[in-house]
Amino acid sequence: MKVSILDYGLSNLRSVEQAFHHLGAQTEIIRTPDQVRAASALVLPGVGAFRDGMEGLRALELIEPIREQAARGVPLLGICLGMQMLFDESEEFGCHPGLGLIPGRVAAIPPRPGFKVPHIQWEPLLPPEGRQDFSGTFLEGIRPGEECYFIHSYRALPACPEDLAAAADYGGVEICAAAARGKVMGCQFHPEKSGPTGLSILKGYLDLCTK
């Protein structure tokens, strides 16, 4: 198994690489359209603003190759900003189009008394309403209530409830902690910084890559 990690200038590549190495996966850092088209497993990490992330992908001419691979069924995992860019658009610093792989938009976390934005803390992962656990998803290796590390000011709002894979609660505001549509998946939290729970989630992604 070789995991291709996209480098577009806004990625915490080293910690993501190390997490996959810990799980026994080979990795490669990729930056070109041809490398994206040759990949059998893609990871789109990211930190920073949505606009800057999409501009980085556009400058390297990676947007269409990513869309093509997703359409072919190549597993794609977005992490933090990478997950947000999977959606249709974001309102961060104006309205900016995303990759359009999961219907929905990205909006600011609404302020709540006593709860600061950005949201920076560990949070328990909760199954979507009507579900008891994460079975059938890339999160099925963990139990509801296990915690992961979040750091963000914006949240994804999936248009289709079935695309919500896991939620978190922050001061009464529902956070889309993870989303999935087919083999396009995303984590708002950082699995590579979330200890054994995060590693179990990345292993779930690797398991899906082999199916």
CATH code (residue 174): 3.40.50.880
**118 upstream amide cis, omega within 30 of 0:** yes
Greatest CA span in the chain, whole angstroms? 48
The per-residue pLDDT for 211 is 81
CA distance to 46, 68, 85, 172, per residue, from 71 (Å): 22, 5, 16, 36
The tokens describing 28, both together, are: 């490669």
Helix 63-72 crosses helix 50-59 at what angle (to 10 degrees)?
90
Residue range(s) defining the domain that contains residue 84: 2-209
Q: In total, how many domains does the chain have?
A: 1
The per-residue pLDDT for 130 is 87
**Is pTM, for the whole model, over 0.85?**
yes
In contact, 168 and 197? CB cutoff 8 Å: no
The per-residue pLDDT for 173 is 95
Helix 195-209 crosses helix 13-22 at what angle (to 10 degrees)?
70
Type of residue at 63: I
The per-residue pLDDT for 111 is 87
**Sign of the torsion formed by the C-alpha atoms of 107, 113, 178 and 22:** positive
Between CA 126 and CA 139 the distance in angstroms is 11
Radius of gyration of the chain (CA): 16
The tokens describing 208, both together, are: 């899906």
Active site positions, annotated: 80, 190, 192
Per DSSP, the residues of 59-97 read HTT-HHHHHHHHHHT--EEEETHHHHTTEEEE-TTS-EE
pLDDT, tens digit only, all 211 positions of the chain: 799 999 999 877 999 999 999 999 999 999 999 999 999 999 999 999 999 999 999 999 999 999 999 999 999 999 999 999 999 999 999 999 999 999 999 999 998 888 999 999 999 999 999 899 999 999 999 999 999 999 999 999 999 999 999 999 999 999 999 999 999 999 999 999 999 999 999 999 999 998 8
Between CA 188 and CA 190 the distance in angstroms is 7
The per-residue pLDDT for 31 is 97
Token match 């658009």: residue?
89
